[in-house]
């Protein structure tokens, strides 16, 4: 149990285009989902916290107009990178917390974004 999927697993796009990444909790309901960004050989950097049915809470320094987050249901959150540029190239990981349990976060497999 507690499986989180991400789609796509990797994407290459041209500069200026928008990319949508989906995060789904497959076998549990996730009231809260998190979006992280990870650069090579570095730790995870929290971008935003997403609660179902409400606006996402962005961390300081993260542009909410550039990284659009929608948490449409208890099993789906999406991150849209708008007008992507090469500096947005990174590994994006989502995670989800179950209501029950000790509060561990279950992570998706990540999406590697490359902007040309």
Partner 1 sequence: AQKITQTQPGMFVQEKEAVTLDCTYDTSDPSYGLFWYKQPSSGEMIFLIYQGSYDQQNATEGRYSLNFQKARKSANLVISASQLGDSAMYFCAMREGLVTGNQFYFGTGTSLTVIP
By CB under 8 A, name the binding residues for partner 1. 31-32, 34, 41-44, 46, 49, 51, 91, 93, 95, 97-99, 101-110, 112
The greatest distance separating any two alpha carbons of the chain, rounded to the nearest whole angstrom, comes to 42
The least CB distance from residue 16 to partner 1, in Å, is 26
Q: Nearer to partner 1 by C-beta: 22 or 82?
A: 22
Residue 91 Cα distances to 35, 78, 100, angstroms? 11, 15, 28
Instruction: Pull the structure tokens for residue 82.
Output: 């708008």
CA 7/CA 93 separation, integer angstroms:
11
Q: How far is the CB of 110 from partner 1 (least distance, A)?
A: 4
> How near is the Cβ of 72 to partner 1 at its closest, in Å?
17
User: Toward partner 1, which CB reaches closer, 4 or 115?
Assistant: 4
Cis peptide before 8 (omega within 30 of 0): yes
């Amino acid at each position: 149990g507690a499986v989180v999927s991400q789609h796509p697993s990797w994407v290459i796009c041209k500069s200026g285009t928008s990319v949508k990444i989906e995060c789904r909790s497959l076998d549990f309901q996730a009231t809260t989902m998190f979006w992280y960004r990870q650069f090579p050989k570095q730790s995870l950097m929290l971008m935003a916290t997403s609660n179902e049915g409400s606006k996402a809470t962005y961390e300081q320094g993260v542009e909410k107009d550039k990284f659009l987050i929608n948490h449409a249901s208890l099993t789906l959150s999406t991150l849209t990178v708008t007008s992507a540029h090469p500096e947005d190239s990174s590994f994006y990981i989502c995670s989800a917390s179950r209501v029950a349990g000790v509060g561990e976060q279950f992570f998706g497999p990540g999406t590697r974004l490359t902007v040309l």
